[in-house]
Amino acid sequence: MSDFSYAILDKRDHRPWALPERPWVMTQTWHDLLFAHWRVPVEALRRIVPSVFPIDTFNGDAWLAVVPFHMTNVGPRFVPSLPWVSAFPELNVRTYVRVDDKPGVYFFSLDASSVAAVAAARSLLRLPYFTADMSVRVGPSIDYRSRRRSNPGTEFCATYEPAGSPAAPVTGSLEYFLTERYCLYATDHLNHPYRLEIHHPPWPLQRATADIAVNTMTAPLGIEVHGPPLLHFSARQDVVCWRPKRLEVRG
């Protein structure tokens, strides 16, 4: 049985722009997220992000994130959740872009254990999903393991946990810049850019600690991340998604 909270649709005052007028089409619930962020050179991202998407920066700095979590309630609107297809781990590698003053996320990769979800996202949205062997053990800390099947050298192994009380990020802060984003950007099968909008309440962020034993997730990008990451944790986020909408490219 789904435990999705549809009350999130009534929480709108925090959004930087209005909800789309079109009906939303999908639910997801994200659990036990770790946001691990590193500063990276803008030029390193510029060569691998499509030029139609301007890199978004905070005080001149660009950021790259590795985000492990696991999901439930994944499915189309009005379709009941099924435990064997609606719940699975996912691991994202992402950065930040901004189009028409709407800040969003650009994904370099999305690893998931669900073969069906990977196939659907690749076919319908042309998102860079990969099937991975993954395990998540939840206790006082989260033990997370992921290894990409098509390239076993692309791997993430970490143990992480929250530290401190949850709170919504302050508007204008770095934490707000890194997390409060209500769309993703990608290109379709004809290489046209599109925006896919989402909605959720403000992020309940906590500081986090993490022992990252293995992280080769950025190696396929030709980017090395150095030094300790900026870490945040969030226990849960209920999300609705809309169909993608093609963007008009200005010459």
Terminal Cα distance for the chain, rounded: 49
Q: Is 119 helix (H, G, I), strand (E, B) or coil?
A: helix
194 contacts 185 by C-beta, under 8 angstroms: yes
Cα 223 from Cα 251, distance rounded (Å) = 30
Place of tokens 């990977």: 118
196 contacts 125 by C-beta, under 8 angstroms: yes
25: Cα within 13 Å, side-chain hemisphere: 8
Cα 76 from Cα 97, distance rounded (Å) = 27
Two structure tokens written together for 197: 């909008």
Cα 39 from Cα 189, distance rounded (Å) = 31
For the stretch 168-221, pLDDT in tens is 999 999 999 999 999 999 999 999 999 999 999 999 999 999 999 999 999 999
The residue length of the chain stands at 251
Considering only residues 82 and 9, tell me which one the structure prediction assigns the higher pLDDT.
Answer: 9
Q: What is the pLDDT of residue 2?
A: 79
Neighbours of 205 (CB within 10 A): 24
Cα 117 from Cα 26, distance rounded (Å) = 13
For the stretch 92-146, pLDDT in tens is 999 999 999 999 999 999 999 999 999 999 999 999 999 999 999 999 999 999 9
Domains and CATH numbers, the chain: 23-246 (2.40.400.10)
Q: Is 46 helix (H, G, I), strand (E, B) or coil?
A: helix
For the stretch 10-38, pLDDT in tens is 999 999 999 999 999 999 999 999 999 99
Cα 249 from Cα 239, distance rounded (Å) = 28
Q: What is the pLDDT of residue 176?
A: 98
Two structure tokens written together for 207: 């500081």
100 burial (CB, 10 Å; 0-12 / 13-18 / 19+) is exposed
Q: What is the pLDDT of residue 60?
A: 97
Q: What is the pLDDT of residue 248?
A: 86
For the stretch 37-90, pLDDT in tens is 999 999 999 999 999 999 999 999 999 999 999 999 999 998 777 666 789 999
Q: What is the pLDDT of residue 148?
A: 98
34 contacts 231 by C-beta, under 8 angstroms: yes
- Give the pLDDT band (50/70/90) at residue 1: low
Please state whether beta strands 62-76 and 26-40 pair in parallel, antiparallel, or not at all (unpaired). antiparallel
Cα 129 from Cα 115, distance rounded (Å) = 10
Average pLDDT over residues 232-248: 97
- Give the pLDDT band (50/70/90) at residue 250: low
E strands in the chain: 26-40, 62-76, 88-99, 102-112, 129-138, 142-148, 155-167, 183-187, 193-199, 205-215, 230-241, 245-246
Nearest to 40 by CA among 111, 95, 104: 95
